[in-house]
Chains A and B, each alone.
Chain A
Amino acid sequence: DGGITQSPKYLFRKEGQNVTLSCEQNLNHDAMYWYRQDPGQGLRLIYYSQIVNDFQKGDIAEGYSVSREKKESFPLTVTSAQKNPTAFYLCASTRGQNQPQHFGDGTRLSIL
């Protein structure tokens, strides 16, 4: 079945450490997204990519980095510069403009 796979489901970060969240899709979608969700809040866009080797900052990109070397993969790195990284991170993809987004089941990141 086609879908989006995020891993790991739970992740713990030590102070000063960078961590990378994985997102893989086999839907053949061009566009991919990373969102952050905090309790009781909506999804906030971190980065998005409309095509391979290209990506744009969202509303809260500071302290995060991404790469899009393959159509299927859009990993997110949470750097030590992100001072409040504890959140639920969601990856999504879509066929194109004005299309529904398909989401993975998220990674919950916590600080040790």
Chain B
Amino acid sequence: SQKIEQNSEALNIQEGKTATLTCNYTNYSPAYLQWYRQDPGRGPVFLLLIRENEKEKRKERLKVTFDTTLKQSLFHITASQPADSATYLCALDGVDSSYKLIFGSGTRLLVRP
């Protein structure tokens, strides 16, 4: 079955630096990939969607890449701020239905002032 892996260790960086989070997947080829932000005790909030035929997508300080050869997506936050501290989840469309998403376990980002 399809498997998604995100680094379970928290990423701790200094304010102003670029944060890079990784999402790896195996056993299938998703048509699209999404990134969400989740704050403690809240529901995830959608950030970006990238399709398999897109290499890169940007939104303000956010950038997502999608490498279907490596089966990997990278999520970058440039000029990071303490307010960016949260857990970031990647999600891929389910192999048996594009109505379903398969979520990774998320990576916690801590931005030090």
Contact = CB atoms under 8 A, between A and B. Distances in A.
Interface of A: 4, 6, 31, 35, 40-45, 48, 50, 58, 90, 92, 94, 96-98, 100-106, 108
Contacts of A106: 41-43
A43 B87 CA distance: 13
Interface residues of B, number: 22
A101 B101 contact: yes
A58 B31 CA distance: 20
Contacts, number: 53
Nearest to A102: B46
B65 interface: no
Task: State the majority secondary structure of interface residues on B.
Answer: strand
Query: 6 tightest CB-CB pairs across the interface, nearest first?
Result: A103-B43, A100-B46, A42-B105, A42-B103, A43-B103, A97-B98
User: Most chain-A CB neighbours within 10 Å: which of B4, B31, B98, B100?
Assistant: B100
A41 B43 contact: no
Contacts of A50: 99
A51 B100 CA distance: 14
B106 to A, nearest CB: 6
B53 to A, nearest CB: 13
Given A100-B46, A100-B49, A40 B99 contact: no
A71 to B, nearest CB: 15
A101 B46 contact: yes
B15 interface: no
B45 A103 contact: yes
Interface in B26-60: 31-32, 34, 41-46, 49
B54 to A, nearest CB: 13
